Chain A
């Protein structure tokens, strides 16, 4: 009887996995069959146009790359530093616990709220304008809770024997964290960062709120440049009456998907190399 239950449970679990995979496969198949025909070098090098055949994603692709790179660059140091404080320095204090609670709540805040915050704080108060910088700062806020929480998890997995060994050799707390704990936690930190950035790269609402553009004839040339991103371009194409733009939208989603997957691939390679080094 117990064996039966076991088999049934395994079967149900497998079923759940297959449902998720089938949904993903159907989605990918649908997108590829709609968009593959439009996918070409020209599509990558052209900019937006009212003619579906001439329209491309160059400006939006470059915008997405700029924004996401800058988001990562902002969210990683701040997130890791915050996590180190919470985990290594202040984990027992009441303030730290209060902050911790708030961070978990922040992760559940709808993204448009971050957009409104970004508009008020970065675009207007800090005078960043509708720039790549303002967009990245807004998305970094969005990514921070996930980065902080996953970094804390990663720090927790570092065995205390490592820390104690380091102290025994006369290292200070800072030396221990920087030379021993952080390198060992890095794979986990990077995984968290990938997850956070994968969410950020698909965001449309907060960027529209801060004033990311829809028609822009150039790629960003710096962090203060105006910009648009792939999801906004796709959204714009989907809402057009001409059916030809549907194919463009599908192809745009393909580009976004490839970008996301290559980003993840890079991070996985980096993670594996770090992991190898950590296991000396």
Chain B
């Protein structure tokens, strides 16, 4: 024990801090560091894994500290790339500017939120945004307790609500899209940070209705029934629309789908390893994104996004605005306007 202790303390004493922006000391390999949203994590992990197979000399690490936590580290120059399930906020832009960190904003995929019920709830054939609002609004707490309070033709039975945990990006986005204000909702529904709990809950309860990430619905499609959502606007597909990769991609499944991003530090983008990784990311996103149950942007948009990276367009076109209702078309024209 004693020699080991001495060794440890010697190491501790002489080690000093390694470069916080993350160059690995080990023989010739360099390190590309990502951190941020847990929603974007599966995509970045898949890309990192594939990238690693062909680039043995570059190591990639991905952390999960949430979109906000990721931006905090990003604006301190501690990581190269930030995973984000929402656009960078005005305060974060300011923090980055203060630290002299410029960034390149790159949308990488679409993420949808599914409204699901138990397969035995045959009456739930569609739901409108207004009805969702009525169900989940803060005023509904303790008041709206039965199916027929939402729609008269629904049964006079209790309704059991399930939803993603209040610390999740899914909850933030759902409340923003339905209530128009992030984090505004009733508190008396079963919420869980672990979406598998929601799947379990809804699939065992005939009177359940819940919202959860589309990826979770897809993996458990046999145990859940998807409810089409009608936003009562004709211009993006009239009537109730079923969540599917197609409807999310074409922007007809609104307002419950949104783009997710990676933000690359402008300075890091000049490093050959980071550059190679980001190029690989965008080139392989379409296939890898689908593999982890998200929806790709399509070759045309990925081309635009790659272009944006090649030209090193810094700044955000999404910042400060709501991503609710942003469709591929709008994304495209925003890219063109650059």
Contacts and interface: CB of A to CB of B under 8 A. Distances in A.
SS class, residues of chain A in contact with chain B = loop
Interface residues of A, number: 37
Interface in A8-63: 48-50
Interface stretch (A99-107, A142-150, A216-224, A252-260): A216-224
* Residue among B15, B31, B63 with most chain A CB within 10 A: B63
B219 A243 contact: yes
Contacts of A208: 64-65
B123 interface: no
Nearest to A243: B219
Contacts of B194: 238-239
A77 B25 contact: no
Interface residues on B, range: 35 or more
A211 B33 CA distance: 12
A245 B26 CA distance: 31
B4 A217 contact: no
B38 interface: yes
Given A212-B63, A217-B48, A241 B20 contact: no
B219 to A, nearest CB: 4
B44 A215 contact: yes
Contacts of B64: 208, 214, 236
* Residue among A73, A212, A215 with most chain B CB within 10 A: A215
A223 B11 contact: yes
B158 interface: no
Interface in B269-328: 291-293
A226 B61 contact: yes
B48 to A, nearest CB: 6
A224 B196 CA distance: 36
Contact of B61 (A50, A76, A133, A217): A217
Contacts of B46: 50
A127 B61 contact: no
Interface in B52-66: 52, 59-65
Contacts of B193: 239
Contact of B65 (A49, A211, A225, A240): A211
A73 B8 contact: yes
Interface string A101-141: 00000000000000000000000001111110100000000
B216 interface: yes
A99 B254 CA distance: 59
Contact of A50 (B12, B218, B292): B292
Contacts of B78: 129-130, 211
B216 A217 contact: no
Given A50-B292, A223-B15, A224-B18, A217 B60 contact: yes
B95 to A, nearest CB: 15
A201 interface: no
B49 interface: yes
A242 interface: yes
B68 interface: no
B220 A241 contact: yes
A218 B59 contact: yes
A50 B291 contact: yes
Interface string B5-17: 1001101100111
Nearest to B4: A73
A239 B196 contact: yes
A73 B63 CA distance: 27
Contacts of A218: 26, 59
A126 B4 CA distance: 24
A217 B292 CA distance: 19
Nearest to B292: A50
A236 B291 CA distance: 17
Contacts of A225: 24-26
A211 B63 contact: yes
Nearest to B52: A217
B2 to A, nearest CB: 10
B246 to A, nearest CB: 20
A222 B11 contact: yes
B35 interface: yes
A249 B46 CA distance: 18
B17 A241 contact: no
A214 B65 CA distance: 10
Contacts of B199: 241
A241 B219 contact: yes
A215 B61 contact: yes
B237 interface: no
A62 to B, nearest CB: 14
B230 interface: no
Contacts of A243: 219
A30 to B, nearest CB: 15
Given A211-B63, A241-B199, 10 more contacts: A50-B46, A70-B8, A77-B5, A215-B45, A216-B62, A223-B11, A224-B18, A225-B25, A236-B64, A240-B42
Which 5 pairs from chain A and chain B are nearest by CB? A127-B17, A215-B62, A241-B219, A241-B216, A73-B8
28 contacts: A50-B291, A73-B4, A73-B9, A126-B17, A127-B20, A129-B17, A129-B18, A211-B35, A215-B41, A215-B44, A215-B61, A217-B52, A217-B59, A217-B60, A223-B11, A224-B18, A224-B25, A225-B25, A225-B26, A236-B41, A238-B196, A239-B193, A239-B196, A241-B213, A241-B216, A241-B218, A241-B219, A241-B293
Interface of B: 4-5, 8-9, 11-12, 15-18, 20, 22, 24-26, 31, 33, 35, 38, 41-42, 44-46, 48-49, 52, 59-65, 73, 78, 193-196, 199, 213, 215-216, 218-220, 291-293
